[in-house]
A = this chain, B = another copy of it.
């Protein structure tokens, strides 16, 4: 297999699929729409999962596991919910060799089954808040597969919380969307707009949805995480009330929120280049690859002695590394392969370096080469990994900001969207206006940012507006 991918400028979609396959992140499964997450891709997911899980637990959430089979009648209890999800569901009609009395939906999301359990568990205000998260697989039928971005089955976490008051539920959805922002920006080095979705784009069954939205390398938007305020909708559908401190029955307030393996698609498209993947050090399975370069066995054994010393120190310093000392391929081939896999730093060491007591460090993000003496190696590597993490975020932020334009009227808007990029503009339209713009330009309102403090004129309706929104085409 040659280690090269289609150029982004040639065919971005093909570039993406090439990278996913050549970096061995994922593969197509045998059933249309399904995906196999290969070990290297899964190791990235494990790192993301660990970071998110820690943040959830630090904010009082606990994990649990609910069954994936949902009775059809449960799905139907919340009208908007079934309408939104039924067309995407996989349905089990037979089990244990018999036709079932009631079809079972494979969970597309777990609100209904979880709220049927919350009805059993929530009696009084002392049972609240209930802050449960689950890491699970979910199924949403897809015809146009895109690895990590759109697959019939994917992995995610879904938080489902129950609260005594509307204020607490609001506090929760805000807290979570901030955790998602931190996950995206501080760990995935992926800048995001944080804000509210329009009604057209909210979760089926929610009062409203908050999201983080990122700009990919082709200037399209990726919805990377959502946090829904469900109000009392699901509590009413499943009749979940609690006895408040004044001894009155009251419906419980709900939130739900999730991020998925889609984040890996976001990382690929935020940072990747024509050589392949570039991984932020904080989530890279290997932060550094060691490539010793020799001409004969004698040189090899001398080098490997030094490499062993370096390995021991990296272990101590908790730097994730891999040594590529295979005899099968040339150093040049190895360089290409590990660049394809996006390892942030490459450490080369050859006989001459050994004499000079130095190594060569090569940054994946900039391609810069540095000669570093043995004595400074560990502090330099740590500093360089930090620099790479920061640089990747700043580069992505500059790219997004440079490709986010303001539009004063619809003609300008159309030009910007056609050229690629986000539009940041005053808005006073309604759902119909939004639908018409989508029809004409394929762009939708991706985010109504939280921070608003300006007044102006809507680019579309010409009416006064105090709301700036972000438009873009999306995945």
Contacts and interface: CB of A to CB of B under 8 A. Distances in A.
A116 interface: yes
Contacts of A116: 30
A79 interface: no
A189 to B, nearest CB: 24
24 contacts: A29-B69, A29-B113, A30-B71, A31-B69, A31-B70, A34-B67, A34-B69, A36-B64, A37-B64, A39-B64, A42-B63, A46-B63, A67-B153, A69-B139, A87-B96, A87-B97, A88-B96, A89-B96, A90-B92, A93-B93, A93-B94, A95-B141, A95-B152, A97-B141
Contacts of A39: 62-64, 132
B95 A92 contact: no
Classify chain A: how many residues form its interface, as a range.
Answer: 35 or more
A106 B92 contact: yes
A65 interface: yes
Given A29-B66, A95-B152, 19 more contacts: A27-B120, A29-B69, A30-B113, A30-B116, A31-B69, A37-B64, A39-B64, A42-B65, A65-B155, A67-B153, A68-B153, A88-B96, A89-B95, A90-B104, A91-B95, A92-B106, A96-B143, A97-B141, A137-B137
A143 B95 CA distance: 10
Contacts of A71: 30-31
Given A63-B42, A91-B94, A106-B92, A137 B36 contact: no
A210 B136 CA distance: 30
A360 B92 CA distance: 55
Contacts of A120: 27
Q: Which of A27, A66, A86, A120 has most B Cβ within 10 Å?
A: A66
Nearest to A117: B36
A184 interface: no
A74 interface: yes
Contacts of A452: none
A38 interface: yes
Contacts of A94: 90-91, 93, 103
Given A93-B91, A93-B94, A95-B91, A36 B104 contact: no
Contacts of A104: 31, 90
Contacts of A103: 94
Interface in A127-145: 132, 136-137, 139, 141-143
A86 B328 CA distance: 44
A126 interface: yes
A132 B97 CA distance: 31
A43 interface: yes
A420 to B, nearest CB: 31
A37 B65 contact: yes
A35 interface: yes
A45 B155 CA distance: 19
A132 B104 CA distance: 31
Contacts of A86: 97
Contacts of A152: 67, 69, 95
Interface in A20-75: 27, 29-31, 34-39, 42-43, 45-46, 62-71, 74
Nearest to A116: B30
A36 B29 CA distance: 29
B137 A68 contact: yes
Contacts of A65: 36-37, 42, 45, 155
Nearest to A130: B39
Contacts of A141: 95-97
Contacts of A46: 63
Nearest to A65: B37
B132 A36 contact: no
